[in-house]
Chain A
Amino acid sequence: MLRYNEYPPKGYRVRVSTYWWIGRWAYLKFILRELSSVFVAWFVLETLLQIHALIGGPAAYADFQAFLRHPVAIASNVISLFFVLFHAVTWFNLAPKAMAIRLGGKRLPSLAIAGPNYIAWALASIVVAWLILRG
C-alpha cells in the first residue's frame, strides 16, 4: 500500500508564520476565543480570593473591596467581562455544530440547540442579579 511513496520527493515546504492568525478575521476570532480562557481563569481566581476574604472577616473583606476599587482592578475586570461574554457567545453559537440531534428523521435546527443555552444563561444571570440586588 502506497509503496511508491516510501521515499517521497522532498518538495518545498513553506513554514507557517508565527503570526498566521493576524490578517484573517476567522483565525483572529479563534485566537481571541482561546485567549479568553486566561480571563475566565482570572475571574475564577478573583472569586476564590473574594471567598477567602469573606472567610477572613470584615477587615479582610474591606481590604478586598479596596483592591476591587483600584483602577487597575476595574480595568482588568472590564476586559475580563468582555472576554467572558465573547467566550460565552461564540461557544453557544458553536454548540449546534457539535450536537447533531435528529428527531423524526430531521436534524434539529441550530436555534433549537443554541436557544436553550441562551435561555439558561439569561435565567442564571437573573438569579445572580436577584441575589446581589435584593438587599
Chain B
Amino acid sequence: MAEQITLEITRYSPERDKTPSVASFDVPLRKEWVVLDALNYIKDKVDGSLSFRWSCRMGVCGSCGMTVNGEPKLTCATFLTDYAPGPVLVEPLRNFPVMRDLIVEITDFLAKLAKVKPWIIRKKEMPVSEGEYLQTPDQLDAYRQFSMCINCLLCYAACPVYGLDPLFAGPAALALAQRYNMDSRDEGKNERMDILSQHDGIWGCTFVGECTQVCPKHVDPAGAIQQYKLTAAQEWVKSLILPWGGK
C-alpha cells in the first residue's frame, strides 16, 4: 500500500455542534500533493460533508487560506511532504468566526476594505475620449508590491492586534489603502487620511510584523502601515505649522 499521512481537521457544524471538534483522516502521501489536494481527496472519497473554500489552486484567488500546523497558509501552496510523517493539523483561519468546518466569516474584512476606498479617486474624472491616465514604470514600481494582495486574509490570522481588537482595520485593508495613496494617478490621499489616521486605522498597529512574514505574495503590509504612520505624522506636524493646514 502507498504511503499515507494523517490529517487532523477541525469539524464544526453550526446546526449540530456547540464547539468545534477534530476528526482524523488518512490520505495518500504523494510528492506532488498540497494540503488542498488532500482535502479534496477526503471530500471526494471519504466524507463529502467536509466544507472548505477553494478555487484556483495556484495562489491567485486567495480562497484556500487555513491554519496548517499552527501557521496561516495558502493550502494550495503547502505541500504534504513538508509535514511528513505527520499528522498535519488543519484548522480554520484564526481571528475570524467559524461558519462550518474550515470556512470562516469574512464580512468584517470586506466592510473594512470598502471603508478605506481602495480605488483610484480623481478630483475630476477625465472623459474616456481623452485617453488613459499615464504612468511611468518608476511610478508603477512605487506601489506595485502593495498591489499584489489577493485578500487571502493570512495577515489577519497572523495579527494579534486584530485578534484582540476586532475594530482594528487590519493589515490588508491598510496596505491596499497605501497602494492607492502611492499611485501617481490617484488624488484621494486626503479623503483616505481621515479614515486611516484614526485609532482603529494605522495607529492600532503595534508593528508585530507577522502579517509581512505570512504573506504569500510578499506584500509587506507591516511596511505599508509604518510608512503611512510616517506620512500621517508629517501631515500632522504640517497642519500645526502651516496656516493652510498642510492640505
A16–B157 CA distance with the chains assembled, in angstroms: 11
B245 on the A face (CB < 8 A): no
Of residues 208 through 247 on chain B, the ones whose CB sits less than 8 Å from some CB of chain A are 208-210, 212-213, 220, 222-223, 226-227, 229-230
Residue of B98, B99, B141, B226 near A14 (CB, 8 A) is: B98
Residue of A1, A11, A99, A105 near B98 (CB, 8 A) is: A11
> Would A30 and B110 count as touching, CB distance under 8 A?
no
CB contacts between A and B, total, < 8 Å? 76
Residue of A12, A30, A98, A100 near B19 (CB, 8 A) is: A12
Chain A, interface residues (CB within 8 Å), range: 20 to 34
Considering the complex, give the chain A residue whose CB is closest to the CB of B142: A102
Q: Which of A19-27, A76-84, A117-125 contacts B (4 or more CB under 8 A)?
A: A19-27
B residues less than 8 Å from A30 (CB atoms)? 160, 206-209
Q: At the interface, is chain A mostly helix, strand, loop or mixed?
A: loop
A46–B220 CA distance with the chains assembled, in angstroms: 39
> Would B230 and A1 count as touching, CB distance under 8 A?
no
Size of interface on B: residues with Cβ below 8 Å to A = 37
Of residues 90 through 106 on chain A, the ones whose CB sits less than 8 Å from some CB of chain B are 94, 97-100, 102, 105
Would you give the shortest CB distance from B137 to chain A, in whole angstroms? 8
B residues less than 8 Å from A14 (CB atoms)? 94, 98
A10–B99 CA distance with the chains assembled, in angstroms: 8
Residue of A2, A12, A94, A100 near B97 (CB, 8 A) is: A12
Considering the complex, give the chain A residue whose CB is closest to the CB of B214: A26
Interface bits A58-97 vs B (CB < 8 Å: 1, else 0): 0000000000000000000000000000000000001001
Sample of 30 A–B contacts (CB below 8 Å):
A2-B107, A2-B110, A5-B110, A5-B111, A8-B107, A9-B14, A10-B97, A11-B14, A11-B98, A11-B99, A11-B104, A12-B19, A12-B20, A14-B94, A16-B164, A20-B160, A20-B163, A26-B213, A27-B208, A30-B160, A34-B206, A94-B209, A94-B226, A98-B223, A98-B227, A98-B229, A99-B230, A100-B223, A102-B142, A105-B141
